[in-house]
Structure 1
Amino acid sequence: MNDGTGLRRELSSRQVGMIALGGAIGTGLFLGSGLAISMAGPSVVVVYALAAVVALALSYALAEMTVIHPDAGGFGAIAHRYLGPMAGFVQRWLYVVAQIVNIGSEVVAAGLYIQFWWPQVPLWVPVAGFSALILTVNTLSVRFFGEFEYWFAMIKVVTIVAFIGIGAYFLLFGFAGHPSPGLSAVTEHGGFLPNGLGAAWLALSVVSFSYLGTEAVAVTAAESRDPERDVPRAARSMVLRLGLFYVLGTAVLVLIVPWSEAAGVEGITQSPFVRLFEYAGVPAAAGVMNFVVLTAALSAMNTNLYLSSRMVHSLAVVRQAPRGLLKISKRGVPSRSLGVCAVGLVIAVLASVFSPKDAFPLLIGAALFSGLAAWIIIFATHFAFRRARERAGAAPSPIRLPGAPVTSGLAVLVLVAVLVTTGFTDQFFVAWLAGPPFLVLLVLAYLLVRRRAAARADEPAA
């Protein structure tokens, strides 16, 4: 049991690692990559590599802090400790909103994958069905959730490794009836930067969304059996996994399939990974791959629902959310916090009913501002964490972010630049329409919460 929260430490080391992976690899790679490729062309590989460096810095910064403070609420609780209660309040609610909307984007993507097989099915039907399934999984014990997520994530891990291996073989030797394309997909069709350097930079906003979920390793610490061992191990494994899955995966993709085809001529209703197998003339494999990316979307959705519900629960622990959200079910699940986060599923159903073609990019845009702002606060927290511990003469953490604070500062500069860039993209301008006003609203909400807390403290005891 995690003292003071009611949460149970039932997640094993392998489950913690896979939950972190499940949050980081979902529609951003399998579906969102098509949107990024349509903007950057083959140069999307460099874009993914740049975003991976920032994500890895974030992963190490989080691990360094979480090993010392494996508290419920993860980085939100640590921000509360080192930057103050306002920062903790704003960051956690920013993250909760980003994840709630992100949950909606994942389930919409799952519905799009179903339409690969049955295009006549209205999008809202599979969206509603998958929403009910994943919500049910999250109401069960955290041990069951961890095992479910482990195998869901394992499917996409094995598939991506196989995809990279088969793709590399095809590039080197070709298949019967399908000679190797060599470097033609990069040298032809407009070259490496077909839409210019500016378009490649714009694609960074899409790619950055792909890595949201890397921070999951910090939130799982409160329910890990051995956070001092599991969190550093999960953070280190992210180095290999992010580099392998995102950078090599997209590299193989754009080398085999001309970027204009990988991007899709009919928007993003099909994953470019599925199109790869169709291009290779293996339709049966395309169906199998579509099943894999469907499980990937459900896996990411499953993890995001878990993360957001724990963050809401941690807000209730420090009286920055209604105390009623502290309720823990007999299975050790914060059931009322889970219900709050299920709002994202309702949003997804409504979006798929009223705007099925635009649902995915609109949901991504709405989540992007909050997610990137939460990342920036994580790096600010890490800077304050390092400074406070150095002044106190405390022993260094077992795992440290190399090059900090320079590393943290450079990562923040990239994130701020990406955040500003979203205002110049057709897909994500909604981030700036909703993001800043929401940030102001959160600050005002915190002031109101603090005033009420002070009023209660001044009330005479009954």
Structure 2
Amino acid sequence: MMREENGVRQRADETESGLRRDLSSRQVGMIAVGGAIGTGLFLGSGLAISIAGPAVLIAYVVAALAALALAYALAEMMVVHPEAGGFGAIAHRYLGGMAGFVQRWIYWAAQVVNIGSEVVAAGIYFRFWYPGVPLWLPVVAFSVIMLVVNAAAVRYFGEFEYWFAMIKVVTIVVFILLGAVYIVFGLPGADATGVGALTAHGGFLPNGIGAVWLALTVVTFSYLGTEAVSVTASESRNPTRDVPRAARGMVLRLALFYVLGMLVIVSILPWNSSSGGDELTRSPFVRLFEIAGVPAAAGVMNFVILTAALSAMNTNLYVTARMTYSLARDGYAPRWFAGLSGQGTPRRALLLSAVGLALAAAVSAFAPSSAFPVLLGIALFGALLTWLIIFASQLAFRHKRAAAGLPSSPVRLPGAPYTTVLAMLFVLAVLLTTPFTAQFGMAWKAGLPFVALLLLAYWLLRRRESRRPIEQRAET
């Protein structure tokens, strides 16, 4: 079916940008959850626990409130502007070209680094079963598979990601339910633990309130990915309904998963014995499943963690391709990347993400102790800077629409602009704290120079544009 808008014939299921509105409500909701839940909950949660002890629960609740504010801020803007590029396109519209350029490119870089590290991790998890296989083989195989999935029609990507994310969600729910039974009633051959471990080893705040704040730098990164839901707006069948519902539901689910999951962990295991490393066999999930008598618990969790890595990689490839496509449409990347396949997929933009994936994977595999910390620093800095710009965009969005006498959004962040400012201050404080942590010390050292490089690139682009004849600028 075709329709005509402003003299341009357009399919009824296409957006103004040419992308297809083929993502269903359930797919949008699960993509949002899948993008935010990576391998960190299964393997990396011990790091936050080792810093703050049982009081890590406070950190997860506080970070959840900031993520919820972000979700509402995004939903408020996206129902009015369901555009390709999501929050990056909105920053361009309300904060200007420089903000839109910097935000989209640094977010692209952050996600590409994440994709590269996830695919290397997936290769390592695969070798759990086949240790003799060289690492590069599963890394290349998984990269090709995920690129093929993303190059297909968006509805196939959505269905693939729905079921991959479902595996993670079901595993977490089973873990929480098993843990609750173990805590209250006990399991076969194991007596009930109760909640005495919350205060038995140095108290609920064994390292003081300052340790809770340091743990927040780790915990906040657990909620990064919340912003990815906005990118689905341009391909959702009903963005006005689906995006706000997915954003709110995602944060509430994440909060429940993380808070209840951490409550189970610190209740059944002494906090000072929880692993801060990434060895599969030391994961709290494996230990609980072994106590519950789950056959081959380590193998089962390896499969779950493998799918978690591939799911996060899959979603991030989707996001980076749409970011590149949005930049190309605005003239901040070569126009060639704005091309679409016959199925409405930005395959050319996906190629750029594939190149970045290959570079990040190579660096993380062959230079993990030298070059990769720099890339990770850019990713961490870029993710938090993205949140700050999203909140700033929402403040500008509200101000400019009110000044122009335009109706308010049907979805509104409660308490804004005060909640927006409080959330911005929180994110800024977390960013300022990163230099004081061993894990994220490279964030400022790598992030600031990269932002400076992006600002220089933007200045050069604008300067070149200003020198072009007016006729040529009008054509583009």
Does structure 1 retain, via aligned residues, the 8 Å contact 2:317–2:353? yes
Comparing 231-240 with 411-420, greater Cα deviation is found at 231-240
SS of the residue aligned with 1:330? coil
- C-alpha separation between the residues in 2 aligned to 1:214 and 1:385? 20
Deviation at 1:62, TM superposition (A): 0.2
Are residues 189 and 132 of structure 1, via their aligned partners in 2, closer, same or farther at CA, if it must alter by over 3 Å? farther
Are residues 440 and 279 of structure 1, via their aligned partners in 2, closer, same or farther at CA, if it must alter by over 3 Å? farther
1:60 to 2:60 alignment:
no
1:89 to 2:95 alignment:
no
- C-alpha separation between the residues in 2 aligned to 1:218 and 1:65? 9
Deviation at 1:348, TM superposition (A): 4.2
1:148 to 2:180 alignment:
no
Deviation at 1:458, TM superposition (A): 3.5
- C-alpha separation between the residues in 2 aligned to 1:139 and 1:430? 34
Deviation at 1:50, TM superposition (A): 1.1
Please report the TM-score for the alignment, with normalisation by the length of structure 2. 0.90
| Pairing of 1:443-454 with structure 2 (within 5 A) | 443-454=455-466
Deviation at 1:404, TM superposition (A): 0.6
| Pairing of 1:78-227 with structure 2 (within 5 A) | 78-118=90-130, 123-227=135-239
Q: Which of these residues, 394, 413, 429, is aligned with residue 417 of structure 1?
A: 429
SS of the residue aligned with 2:120? helix
1:230 maps to which residue? Answer: 242
- C-alpha separation between the residues in 1 aligned to 2:44 and 2:120? 12
Match for 1:13: what amino acid?
A: S
Q: Which of these residues, 367, 381, 393, is aligned with residue 393 of structure 2?
A: 381
- C-alpha separation between the residues in 2 aligned to 1:282 and 1:241? 25
Comparing 72-81 with 324-333, greater Cα deviation is found at 324-333
Match for 2:185: what amino acid?
A: F
1:41 to 2:53 alignment:
yes
Q: Which of these residues, 268, 271, 294, is aligned with residue 278 of structure 2?
A: 268
Are residues 280 and 199 of structure 1, via their aligned partners in 2, closer, same or farther at CA, if it must alter by over 3 Å? farther
Are residues 357 and 275 of structure 1, via their aligned partners in 2, closer, same or farther at CA, if it must alter by over 3 Å? farther
Are residues 170 and 225 of structure 1, via their aligned partners in 2, closer, same or farther at CA, if it must alter by over 3 Å? same
- C-alpha separation between the residues in 1 aligned to 2:322 and 2:464? 24
Deviation at 1:210, TM superposition (A): 1.4
Task: Tell me the matched-pair count.
Answer: 460
1:316 maps to which residue? Answer: 328
1:254 to 2:254 alignment:
no
Match for 1:269: what amino acid?
A: E
Comparing 397-406 with 175-184, greater Cα deviation is found at 175-184
Does structure 1 retain, via aligned residues, the 8 Å contact 2:340–2:346? yes
Does structure 2 retain, via aligned residues, the 8 Å contact 1:64–1:401? yes
Deviations 1:122-144, CA, capped at 9 Å, x for gaps: 54443333222212211111110
1:27 maps to which residue? Answer: 39
1:368 to 2:392 alignment:
no
2:253 maps to which residue? Answer: 241
SS of the residue aligned with 1:180? coil
Deviation at 1:446, TM superposition (A): 0.8
Please report the TM-score for the alignment, with normalisation by the length of structure 1. 0.93
Does structure 2 retain, via aligned residues, the 8 Å contact 1:105–1:359? no
- C-alpha separation between the residues in 2 aligned to 1:244 and 1:115? 32
Gaps of 5+ in 2: 1-12
| Pairing of 1:291-302 with structure 2 (within 5 A) | 291-302=303-314
Deviation at 1:97, TM superposition (A): 1.0
SS of the residue aligned with 1:189? coil
Are residues 328 and 170 of structure 1, via their aligned partners in 2, closer, same or farther at CA, if it must alter by over 3 Å? same
Gaps of 5+ in 1: none
Comparing 405-414 with 21-30, greater Cα deviation is found at 21-30
Deviations 1:292-331, CA, capped at 9 Å, x for gaps: 2221221111101101110110000010111111121233
Deviation at 1:343, TM superposition (A): 3.6
Does structure 2 retain, via aligned residues, the 8 Å contact 1:105–1:363? no
- C-alpha separation between the residues in 1 aligned to 2:334 and 2:257? 40
Deviations 1:231-284, CA, capped at 9 Å, x for gaps: 1211221243122111111111221122233325xx213243234334656452
1:426 to 2:438 alignment:
yes
Greater percentage in helix: 1
Deviations 1:427-447, CA, capped at 9 Å, x for gaps: 211211210011111111111
Match for 1:171: what amino acid?
A: I
SS of the residue aligned with 1:319? coil
Deviation at 1:362, TM superposition (A): 6.9
Comparing 245-254 with 235-244, greater Cα deviation is found at 235-244
Deviations 1:393-415, CA, capped at 9 Å, x for gaps: 22221111111111111111111
- C-alpha separation between the residues in 2 aligned to 1:361 and 1:40? 24
SS of the residue aligned with 2:468? helix
1:339 maps to which residue? Answer: 351
Q: Which of these residues, 322, 327, 332, is aligned with residue 339 of structure 2?
A: 327
Q: CA RMSD in A?
A: 2.3
- C-alpha separation between the residues in 1 aligned to 2:204 and 2:116? 33
Are residues 258 and 126 of structure 1, via their aligned partners in 2, closer, same or farther at CA, if it must alter by over 3 Å? farther
Are residues 360 and 201 of structure 1, via their aligned partners in 2, closer, same or farther at CA, if it must alter by over 3 Å? farther
SS of the residue aligned with 1:68? coil
Match for 1:400: what amino acid?
A: R
- C-alpha separation between the residues in 1 aligned to 2:292 and 2:56? 21
Match for 1:41: what amino acid?
A: G
1:395 to 2:436 alignment:
no
Comparing 12-21 with 56-65, greater Cα deviation is found at 12-21
- C-alpha separation between the residues in 2 aligned to 1:139 and 1:292? 24
- C-alpha separation between the residues in 2 aligned to 1:161 and 1:63? 26
SS of the residue aligned with 1:31? helix
